[in-house]
Structure 1
Amino acid sequence: MSETAILSPKFQIAIPAKTRAARGWQAGQVFALIPKGAGVLLMPVPERDELAGIAKGASTAGYRDRVNRI
């Protein structure tokens, strides 16, 4: 997927419809802009309820508690 967009005089970029549809992005969705070399990585910020259960079954072995910090 190699589409382009133009930065408007108001510093806005319209994301092409094919890209939005392929990613399932919706109007009003919040994104994080992460500097990456000479560019910027655009990542959707998940809703709080989407994060529920993502660490289920994660191993806590080797976890450092606040007590043993320097």
Structure 2
Amino acid sequence: MSVTTISPKFQIVIPKDVREKLHLSPSQRLQVLEKGGVITLVPEVPLKSLKGALKGMSRTGLREKKDRV
């Protein structure tokens, strides 16, 4: 497990092993989420990179918008 420290300017450094594993790059944006005292950083992903992610997904069992409650 990697550890980081908050600087006097409230900045943190993401450890190198984590940056490499997640292929993070300089200037990449991260969403900051807090829930129950836990902070989570989630890399933003361009929508274009998701193209084709659901290819082959079955459409049976999907509800129409008008049928949703």
Q: Normalization by structure 1: what TM-score?
A: 0.78
The gaps in structure 2 that reach 5 residues or longer are: none
1:58 is aligned to 2:52: no
**Cα-to-partner distance string for 1:43-68 (whole Å, 9 max, x where unaligned):** 21111221101011111111111222
Cα offsets for 1:21-40 (capped at 9, x unmatched): 22211011111223344322
Q: Secondary structure at the match of 2:24?
A: coil
Aligned equivalent of 2:2: 3
| Structure 1: 4+ residue segments shifted above 4 A | none
Identity, in percent, stands at 32
Q: Which amino acid aligns with 2:50?
A: L
> When the two structures are aligned, how many residues end up with a matched partner?
69
In 2, Cα distance between equivalents of 1:50 and 1:29: 15
Matched, 1:14 2:13: yes
Name which of structure 1's ranges 6-15 and 28-37 shifts more when overlaid on structure 2: 28-37
